[in-house]
Structure 1
Amino acid sequence: MNNPARPVRPVVPGICSVTFRELDVPTVVGLTADAGLRAVEWGGDVHVPVGDLAAAGRARALCAEKGVDVASYGSYWRAGDVAGFAAVVRTAAELGAPGIRVWAGEKGSAESSPVERAAVAAALAGGADLAAEHGITVSLEFHRNTLTDTLASARALLDEAAALRPGAELPLCSYWQPDWWTAPTGIGPADAVAELAALGERLTTVHVFSWATDGARLPLAEREELWRAVFRALHAEGAHAGGAPADGAHAGGAARGHYALMEFVAGGDAEVFRKDAATLLGWLEESVNQA
């Protein structure tokens, strides 16, 4: 059981709004709150388009009304035009998002030249500078077909961007999600825990889902062994760090906790979502008790 003198940093359960692109913002907020989840990452593709400050303000107000955190702003910026990223930052600020999710370029690490890689690192450093002016963290989508398609490449890219700002604390971190596309079953529990440990305090968020290697969406419980190991690791890290999160902020690693955001459900079905949310909450409670 937990030691009351050493509180566990939270793993806050939530949802990515892309899970229900076809539903409006009030419905997404209502589903989230009713399922017992506590946060939403709003996507810039449908629900809160880049530059639509009115939509951002409405989403922020609806979340506050239901007691739901704005976890982050899921932009589709691919670390290119830094001037264009300014609109993303303004939208995230109006949304009240403490973090922005971005993509690390348009090519996988094996296909990118050193020049292309350097350009992505420079764009990320510039984008993080803009976000820092609003107290916002930028986090990389941990994803195939980008420069975060392997753990080694993701860590190196974070270092490369940070090296462009010597002596400064660059607010650039990373998400994590399971490698589902590697046959026969995707990443296993031991390797997943090792990746989380390697990202360390740069980790802000995990995208939570269960997919087959062909991309078919499965009930979350299908990857029970994987996710139980992930949440035990996150809570154990938080218990080791001790203390409390910083004022509800979305920030890196055990220093402040993490978000666990459900991303997509089988058939895009609300009832499946509710069952998966209950599964997620059960695992999180279990991992807290074991930390």
Structure 2
Amino acid sequence: MTHPIALGICSVTFRDESPERIIQLASRAKLDAIEWGADIHVRPGEFKEAERIGNLTRENGLEVSSYGSYYKLGSNASNFLTVLETAKALGASAIRVWAGEKGSREADEEYRTKVVEDAKKIAAVANAENISIHLEFHEQTLTDTGESARDLMLAIQHPNVYVYWQPPNHVSVEERIHSIHKVKEWISNIHIFHWYSYENRMTLAEGRDDWLTYLANIQQDNRARYVLMEFIKGDNQEQFLKDAKVLHELKNAITR
């Protein structure tokens, strides 16, 4: 990554498409990178396929931004080594994980401690392979609010653990900005989409002003990070290409 903001797509955006087609779409959209998901395209343990897809990505002038795993902190520690080896085969320098599988209101201190300890454990193992750990900012996990995410990161206190940011659901723009500032020092990559809900998605153009505000707040530190597209209206490929143009416009507006 040579620019503070690099643009990409999460492969889960088009779960039904082949890796080859996703690479083609990312290239058409003039993106920089792909986050390959563990649910369909690069399953944990399928090392040869991971290596093939990683190489294919790079051969087409794209970077592997990250491995989008569904590893849940505190619940399946025995699986992490397989996830790590798959990320290595893919050539990913970052692994996205989930901050447990309970929301902050449901989790007691014992559960939070379990998540924290697992985060420290996998961060150390991954660090030995020069791979970083990134917590998904997501409901039904301990990063479902800015406050809970901040408390979690302060408890983890590990230099190899970061946070992805995405807009929390069902809150105002002001509350979303507040959540950015709660975890700002740990924000690595960003998942960008615009919706009312998973079932009711909008075009990125409709969220342009909101996203300009979010990105301006995040990029005040001018750190290098990926902004990764996800959840396209109608899962439509032409809409994806239109949204990608808006994404380029947002980048230009932030970095001019």
Q: How does 1:237-252 map to 2 (within 5 A)?
A: 237-238=221-222
How much has 1:235 moved relative to structure 2?
Answer: 3.5
The aligned counterpart of 1:187 is 172
**1:222–1:96: structure 2 CA closer, same or farther, 3 Å change rule?**
same
Stretches of structure 2 that go unaligned for 5 or more consecutive residues are none
**1:283–1:65: structure 2 CA closer, same or farther, 3 Å change rule?**
same
TM-score (norm 2): 0.94
Q: Is 1:218 matched with 2:207?
A: no
The aligned counterpart of 1:94 is 89
CA RMSD for the aligned pairs?
A: 1.6
Retained in 2: the 8 A contact 1:192–1:226? Answer: no
Q: Which has the higher strand share?
A: 2
Aligned-partner Cα distance in 2 for 1:213–1:67: 33
TM-score (norm 1): 0.83
Aligned-partner Cα distance in 2 for 1:214–1:230: 20
Retained in 2: the 8 A contact 1:14–1:259? Answer: yes
The aligned counterpart of 1:41 is 35
Retained in 2: the 8 A contact 1:208–1:260? Answer: yes
**1:97–1:149: structure 2 CA closer, same or farther, 3 Å change rule?**
same
**1:171–1:71: structure 2 CA closer, same or farther, 3 Å change rule?**
same
Write the deviation string for residues 100-120 of structure 1: whole angstroms up to 9, x where unpaired.
Answer: 010111110000111111111
Q: Is 1:285 matched with 2:252?
A: yes
Retained in 1: the 8 A contact 2:146–2:180? Answer: no
Q: How does 1:1-291 map to 2 (within 5 A)?
A: 10-79=4-73, 80-162=75-157, 169-180=158-169, 182=170, 186-188=171-173, 190-213=174-197, 215-238=199-222, 254=223, 257-289=224-256
Aligned-partner Cα distance in 1 for 2:204–2:148: 28
Aligned length: 254
How much has 1:136 moved relative to structure 2?
Answer: 0.6
Write the deviation string for residues 246-288 of structure 1: whole angstroms up to 9, x where unpaired.
Answer: xxxxxxxx2xx11100012011110010000011111111111
Retained in 2: the 8 A contact 1:104–1:120? Answer: yes
User: What SS does the aligned partner of 1:212 have?
Assistant: strand
How much has 1:214 moved relative to structure 2?
Answer: 6.7
Aligned-partner Cα distance in 2 for 1:174–1:236: 16
How much has 1:213 moved relative to structure 2?
Answer: 4.4
Larger RCO (CA within 8 A; separation ≥ 6): 1
Aligned-partner Cα distance in 2 for 1:105–1:279: 33
User: What SS does the aligned partner of 1:106 have?
Assistant: coil
**1:214–1:263: structure 2 CA closer, same or farther, 3 Å change rule?**
closer
Write the deviation string for residues 115-155 of structure 1: whole angstroms up to 9, x where unpaired.
Answer: 11111111111111111111111010000111100111111
Letter in 2 for 1:236: Q
User: What SS does the aligned partner of 1:138 have?
Assistant: strand
Aligned-partner Cα distance in 1 for 2:67–2:96: 6
Retained in 2: the 8 A contact 1:14–1:40? Answer: yes
